[in-house]
């Protein structure tokens, strides 16, 4: 990715879950974070306390995020070391602050110096006005106005993904595709199929044969067959034309 860079823990925004209710949702949020390289989770007054036994299974292996999670009594305590605080909400809640998309917020986090934090509200009601007031900007996901319902993990994953686009995360190794087969090989396969279909009486009525053959050729030339695929298909056709006798 052009311009992507490796990140350190201090470059990462802290993901702050404010008064989260269910351990399962904390675990799912941790999974969403680690998928995109984020590891610093901060919890503000989790309803069922911390640690929560329900979080681990829901995290699906993102144990490092849960193990390092820190608990705070208030939002102000949780973001005390952060120079840039963003509040995620679908509503402004009467607070006049800059409103940015997750993409715009991610660019700002990478451009600004100093720690950043992103606040996510409790599952049922979202952030309160007092929570949003702590932030310097509001992050709002462009969403269907008739159904603006995101669960906690969905909101985290949207923001985490936008942040990850600006860092160098390991990508799955690319598999080289085989080169396309030469046209002669492809024509040989198509001719073999035409011959078999003709012998089977497929091209009926005869006046429709040219159109049907053209349709088959279009179908068979779309995928961009490799030489190995052509040989395999011709083997299939040969087996159909000359089936082996079973004992």
Domains of the chain by residue range: 9-164, 183-241
Residue range 77-116, pLDDT digits in tens: 999 999 999 999 876 556 678 899 999 999 999 998 889 9
Interval 189-237: pLDDT, tens: 889 988 888 888 888 888 888 888 888 788 787 777 778 778 877 877 8
Q: How far apart are CA 85 and CA 21, in angstroms?
A: 22
CATH topology of domain 9-164: Alpha/beta knot (3.40.1280)
Which residue's structure tokens are 């974070």? 33
The dihedral of CA 77, 81, 87, 92: what is its sign? positive
Q: What is the pTM of this model?
A: 0.68
**CA 65 → CA 31, 88, 107, 160, 235, distances in Å?**
8, 20, 23, 14, 52
Q: What are phi and psi of 86, to 5 degrees?
A: -115, 140
Query: What element of type H or E holds 88?
Result: strand 84-88
Q: Cβ neighbours of residue 165 under 8 Å, at least 6 residues apart?
A: 1, 4, 103, 106
The closest alpha carbon to 120, from 44, 43, 16, 47, belongs to 16
What integer pLDDT is reported at residue 1 of this predicted model? 44
Give the C-alpha separation, 236 to 134, whole Å: 68
pLDDT digits (tens, 9 = 90+) for 117-172: 999 999 888 899 899 989 999 999 888 878 777 899 999 999 999 999 887 665 55
């Amino acid at each position: 990715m052009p311009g992507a860079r490796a990140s350190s823990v201090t470059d990462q925004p802290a993901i702050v879950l404010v008064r989260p209710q269910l351990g399962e949702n904390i675990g799912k949020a941790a999974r969403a974070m680690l998928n995109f390289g984020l590891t610093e989770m901060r919890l503000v007054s989790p309803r069922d306390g911390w640690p929560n036994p329900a979080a681990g299974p829901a995290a699906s292996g993102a144990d490092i995020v849960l193990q390092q999670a820190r608990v705070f009594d208030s939002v102000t305590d949780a973001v005390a070391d952060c120079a840039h605080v963003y509040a995620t909400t679908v509503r402004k809640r009467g607070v006049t602050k800059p409103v940015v998309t997750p993409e715009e917020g991610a660019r700002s986090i990478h451009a600004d110096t100093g720690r950043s934090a992103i606040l996510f509200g409790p599952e049922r009601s979202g952030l309160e006005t007092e929570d949003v007031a702590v932030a310097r900007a509001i992050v709002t996901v462009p969403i269907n106005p008739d159904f603006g319902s995101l669960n906690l993990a969905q909101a985290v994953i949207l923001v985490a993904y936008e942040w990850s686009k600006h860092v160098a995360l390991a990508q799955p190794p690319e598999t080289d595709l085989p080169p396309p087969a030469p046209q002669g090989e492809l024509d040989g396969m198509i001719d073999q199929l035409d011959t078999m279909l003709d012998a089977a009486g497929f091209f009926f009525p005869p006046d429709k044969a040219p159109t049907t053959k053209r349709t088959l050729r279009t179908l068979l030339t779309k995928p961009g067959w490799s030489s190995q695929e052509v040989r395999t298909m011709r083997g299939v056709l040969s087996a159909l034309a000359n089936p082996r006798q079973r004992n």
